[in-house]
Structure 1
Amino acid sequence: MKLTWICTLVVLFQVSSVTLGAEKLQSYNVDRSTITVSGFSSGGGMAMQYHVAFSSEIQGAAIFDGAPFACYKVDFCKNPGKVVVSNLAKEITGLASTKKIDNESNLNGSKVFVFHGTKDTVVDPAFGHKLEKLYQVFGAVTKNEYTIKAVHGFPTNFYGAACGSFSPATHFINNCKYHGSNIAMKHLLGDSLASPASSAEGQLLQYDQTEFGGSAVSSMDPTGYVYIPTGCQDKTRQCKLHIAFHGCLQSKYGS
């Protein structure tokens, strides 16, 4: 999945087990106070897990067709009717009290965007609502989109299969006439964020993830991807960092 924003480094994590001889990730001038995450499907669940676990470092999250923190403990997130938001909140506070994750107070005021299509048959749309309510328990500032007749897919306004078409062929990217990434990032980083350019002018680079634990054992690919906008190639210029997690069947291998 390729997401591009002006002056925002975008790191894309891959999950698989094949090494592609990528180079070591370089150092960039990152504004650590504005690090955000996003994800689609299982990557959406991962984005919330990561945001909640490292809430002192992550300032916001955009979650597309995902499920809430710790709902795997309840029927493996299959039935939203069995998921009680207050119980998930207790799970978070309990983990924080034993210092297994960051203090939940960090979530207060954090920006969160939630998208879930009405025709999603892979992850029940009700999970999106519960995910948002769970964030609101801790004072997150949320924005949502629940009205688009989209199947299980990442919504764009320029590329992909038809919005109502389940499409592994386009890696579950769907043209819903809705610029999901731009709308999400404007909520996370502010409405003054520039609109995307008509074409990407930066660099999409491979990097070696083994130094970060990438291996078959950890189910994280030894190779990751980072998009460097033209402005951020000048390392004297400070840029924002966004981390994107792909969903199942959405890696470079399609599995």
Structure 2
Amino acid sequence: MSAVSLSFPLGALSLAALLVVGPAAVQAADLPELNIDLKQTTVSGISSGAFMAVQMGVAHSAAVKGVAATAGGPYFCALQDALGGAGVSRAIRRCMQGDPDYGVMPITADALAQMQAAARAWSVRGLIDPVQGLAAQSVWLFHGYNDGIVKKPANDALRDWYDGFTPASQVFYKDDLNAGHAQISAACADATIGSCNSCAQTGGKFINACADKPAAGGLYDAAGAALQLFYGPLQRTVTAQLGSRLDPFEQKPFTKDRQGELVMPIRLAMGDTGYVYVPQACKAGESCRLHIAFHGCMQDAGSIGTQFATGAGFNEWADKNRIVVLYPQARSTVGAPMAPVNPMGCWDWWGYNDFLYDSSAGRYAQKGGAQIAAVWRMAEKLAARALPGNAVPTAVSAPALQVVDRSASQVALVWTPVQDATAYRMARAAEGAAESEVVTLPASRTSFVDGSLSPDSAYRYRVSALFGSGEPASSGVVEVRTATPAPACDPYFSLAKNTAVTKSKCPTTQTCP
């Protein structure tokens, strides 16, 4: 989906062959064994990686506490079109909706209900973790209004899918930046990484820099917003001062066929080499958390080397906060025998690994799916030296409240946990109005997404830690202004031409401001 994505029905194989180049030679080592609490795992992804992150978060909801998806669609979006990978054109029409050559198949209420019902049925059968685990997750969603590859209705359907499982106070959705189809990064412009796209562009490495709105100056930091929604207030390291490095590892020990036998990674459309960022504290044996970051199509190492892993913005937030970042790699399979059809190095969200195997659709999205199982084996290897009581944040005497993201209608807030608190009470005051209580949350939650707010409006928030007896401990007041709504924008992208087009299929450079 990044770039040409699933364009192979239109003959993009030759284009893919030109675009896919081998990464620089590296000395891949074994994946390290660390002291990681798997129940503190979070996942993220862009485009096909967004679909994959959602699949991982649903399949392993008992362990995954946070899911971030940029430009994705709902779980099991391909529906029965995933059967044998034969309905890819219909999957594009339903789950991407941005190529005029394919047309649009809307995600109807009935289709969405089928996607939700599949998760519930698979949960009962043990093919995924119990869906009740989704009620504990935090979810961060992003869609740029210049994205003509995965259109906004598909992203909206992902939000609506979560409505069936996850409280609205735990789901944040930002859709008011003029971004194209890309990972939005505050690190990609660093001189040590190289240039990145302007905000509205779609193409290249699919890593864009966007001004943070409504805040004046600075870049919007998608990685920081998502990770802090999941883990609470964090400290960012400047890219040039990172204390560790990106390490390659062999993916072959984790790629297996349906009989449990090891196979070459290309048999699953996965690369030989993956990457991991391990902070020095984690290397020293301290308790750490795990974040899994899935690249999009044409962002694999065979296409852009390590630029996604170094430029997506996660390492800067991981470095001082005991977060290990795993960057598993898919790969292009152009001309490869005995491999699934995946010319653009996409993650499997439409069943290409199930072709000729399944009598019913959906295995790729379950715990037994080839790629999901391989990546989870990587996570388990990283957590092989886990000790009891891992990765518990240091409690404080009073909560420190922070705004980590805002849209035209929502504000995402997080705070530090307080020792012996039994609950937290959030209070809000609109501009010119008195403060009033919004919600009381259990002690296990230290984040809150406030919704149904007015655009371009000022609000003040304060959180108080409650105890069984005694006075509450309150944070200071934080102020925030919501964003302005996105303008009417109707972008399109031709997968065959690999360029933005108008609805009538004419190439265009026009973007919405």
The TM-score normalised by the length of structure 2 is 0.44
Shift of 1:197: 2.9
The yes-or-no answer on 1:194 pairing with 2:221 is no
**Structure 1 residue 131: deviation in Å?**
0.7
* Equivalent residue for 1:206, pick from 227, 248, 263: 248
**In 1: Cα distance, 2:186 partner to 2:235 partner:** 16
Give the drift of 1:122.
0.5
CA 133–82 in structure 1, closer or farther in 2 if over 3 Å, else same? closer
Instruction: Give the 4+ runs in structure 1 shifted more than 4 A.
Output: 16-21
Post-superposition shift, 1:99? 1.5
CA distance in 2, matches of 1:31, 1:82: 37
Q: Write out per-residue CA displacement over residues 74-102 of structure 1, whole angstroms, 9 at most, x where no aligned residue.
A: 63024462343322111111111221111
Aligned to 2:128: 101
1:243 aligns with 2:292: yes
Are 1:25 and 2:69 an aligned pair? no
Q: Tell me the distance in 2 between the aligned counterparts of 1:196 and 1:118.
A: 29
Structure showing greater radius of gyration is: 2
User: Does 1:221 pair with 2:221?
Assistant: no
Q: How do 1:58-137 and structure 2 match up within 5 A?
A: 58-73=64-79, 75-76=90-91, 77=95, 78=97, 79=104, 81-84=106-109, 85-137=112-164
CA distance in 1, matches of 2:52, 2:225: 20
Residue 209 of structure 2 is aligned to residue 175 of structure 1: yes
Cα distance in structure 1, aligned partners of 2:295 and 2:105: 22
Evaluate the alpha carbon distance shift between residue 57 and residue 80 of structure 1 in structure 2; reply closer, same or farther with a 3 A threshold: farther
- 3-state SS in 2 of match to 1:55: coil
- In structure 1, the partner of 2:15 is none
The separation in 2 between residues aligned to 1:206 and 1:82, in whole angstroms, is: 39
Root mean square deviation of aligned Cα? 2.0
Cα shift readout 1:145-187 (whole Å, capped 9, x = no counterpart): 111111101112352210011231xx10000131010011111
CA spacing shift, 1:216–1:203, aligned 2, 3 Å: same
Supply the distance in 1 between the matched residues of 2:269 and 2:245 (Cα, whole angstroms): 26
1:103 positional shift: 0.8
Partner of 1:145: 174
**Displacement, 1:201?**
2.1
The AA in structure 1 aligned to 2:236 is S
CA distance in 1, matches of 2:67, 2:237: 19
What are the ranges of 5 or more consecutive residues in structure 1 without an aligned counterpart?
1-15
Residues of 2 paired with 1:70 and 1:103: CA distance?
16
Matched, 1:231 2:281: yes
Aligned-partner residue type, residue 238 of structure 2: A
Out of 80-89 and 178-187, give the one that drifted further. Answer: 80-89
Matched residue of 2:292: which SS? strand
State the match for 1:50 in structure 2: 56
- Greater relative contact order (Cα 8 A, min sep 6): structure 1 or 2? 1
Post-superposition offset of 1:195: 2.8
Equivalent-residue separation in structure 2 for 1:57 and 1:68 (angstroms): 20
Provide Cα deviations, 1:4-58, integer angstroms capped at 9, x if missing partner.
xxxxxxxxxxxx9999651111101112221011000000000001110111121
How far did 1:198 drift?
4.2
Q: Residue type of the partner of 1:94? A: A
Q: For structure 1, which segment, 25-34 or 155-164, has the greater mean C-alpha deviation from structure 2 after superposition?
A: 155-164
| Counterpart in the other structure of 2:200 | 164
Identity of aligned residues (%): 28
Quick one: which amino acid aligns to residue 167 of structure 1? G
When normalised by structure 1's length, the TM-score is 0.86
- Gaps of at least 5 residues in structure 2 are 1-20, 82-89, 98-103, 190-195, 211-218, 256-263, 304-343, 345-513
Quote the offset at 1:241 in angstroms: 0.5
- Between the two proteins, the alignment pairs up a number of residues equal to 236
Q: How far apart are residue 202 of structure 1 and its match?
A: 1.2
